[in-house]
Amino acid sequence: MKIYHCLAEDGRRYYGQLHGEDRGLLEVWEGDIFTTWRPTDAVVKIARLLSPLPLPPNIFALGLSYRKHAEETGIEAAPEPIVFMKASTSVIGPEEAILLPDAGPTKVDYEGELAVVIGRRGKNIPLAEAMDYVLGYTCANDVSARDWQFERQQGQWVRGKSFDSFCPLGPCLTTRDELPHPNRLAIRTVLNDQVVQDASTSGMIHDIASIVSNLSKSLTLLPGTVILTGTPEGVGFTRTPPLFLREGDRIAVMIEGIGVLANPVRAERMEA
């Protein structure tokens, strides 16, 4: 199923699924999406959609996990996934604004990515069991300030990728049973009217099961952990001339079987 999280017109937040073809109504489910939950009779009017995971316990992300993206950056892909983290406070939902901070950075880039959502606590997960720990998938935009990522911070990527609003997630969480082939999904990023990334998750060097199993060898995966599985080719900083996000842009990440995660780009007006 496709699990949506919304702010309803009554001012409360709900999880559930869309009511038929009507994208303005949510059939409310109750309980916990990670353990037991069930449908109710309630249907509410959606004021706006929220991130399906508003505050993940951890957000891990993979660098250079698509062969063609590694090639375009000129950085050699490592035999094991390169893992970094994004702050949980960087998460926003569909249609929320990606904010360009007043004080810089100036080179803010997009990265459309398939995000894996962990459903069960796990450590040292065998490869053959890894998919049992996956609750489902959502679209992510691993927004990255390239000046902070590469030119400041001595090569540490975390701050450049953790500005508030730099991790849009959504529009829904598609459960694993509905996407039996996560490594064969079309993934596309559109900036305004321009298709800037157009690829398939089959271009990943490591498949989803390997990523989950590998990560769990060194740390505990908790329910709600989000793993951004890396971006395909076509990011802005590798282009000639480079292409960075500007105020007034609209950026959308689309993944087959999940949907469209679109966000406007605005300048952050800092209060003096």
Kindly state the smallest distance separating residue 86's Cβ from Zn ion, in Å: 9
The smaller minimum CB distance to Zn ion, of residues 96 and 142, is found at 142
Single out the segment in contact with Zn ion by CB under 5 A; choices: 96-104, 136-144, 184-192, 240-248.
136-144
Which 216-235 positions form the footprint of Zn ion (CB under 5 A)?
231
Beta carbons of 196 and 231 less than 8 angstroms apart: no
Q: One-letter amino acid identity for 64?
A: L
> Cα(15)–Cα(126) distance, rounded to whole angstroms?
31
Q: Which two tokens stand for residue 198?
A: 């157009």
Kindly state the smallest distance separating residue 61's Cβ from Zn ion, in Å: 5
Kindly state the smallest distance separating residue 108's Cβ from Zn ion, in Å: 13
Beta carbons of 135 and 100 less than 8 angstroms apart: no
The smaller minimum CB distance to Zn ion, of residues 134 and 227, is found at 227
Beta carbons of 97 and 266 less than 8 angstroms apart: yes
Single out the segment in contact with Zn ion by CB under 5 A; choices: 37-45, 107-115, 169-177, 197-205.
107-115
- The torsion angles phi and psi of 176, rounded to 5 degrees, stand at -55, -40
The smaller minimum CB distance to Zn ion, of residues 153 and 175, is found at 153
Q: Compute how many residues bind Zn ion; rule: CB under 5 A.
A: 3
28 CB-near residues (< 8 Å, 6+ apart): 14, 15, 16, 39, 40, 42, 43, 44
- The torsion angles phi and psi of 177, rounded to 5 degrees, stand at -60, -25
Single out the segment in contact with Zn ion by CB under 5 A; choices: 45-53, 109-117, 234-242, 250-258.
109-117
Contact between 111 and Zn ion per CB under 5 A: yes
The smaller minimum CB distance to Zn ion, of residues 142 and 233, is found at 142
Contact between 197 and Zn ion per CB under 5 A: no
> Cα(19)–Cα(3) distance, rounded to whole angstroms?
12
- DSSP H or E run through 259: strand 259-267
Single out the segment in contact with Zn ion by CB under 5 A; choices: 4-12, 108-116, 150-158, 196-204.
108-116
Contact between 142 and Zn ion per CB under 5 A: yes
The smaller minimum CB distance to Zn ion, of residues 47 and 87, is found at 87
Which 12-71 positions form the footprint of Zn ion (CB under 5 A)?
none
DSSP characters over 161-177: G-STT-EEEEEEEEEGG
Residues within the interface to Zn ion (CB under 5 A): 111, 142, 231
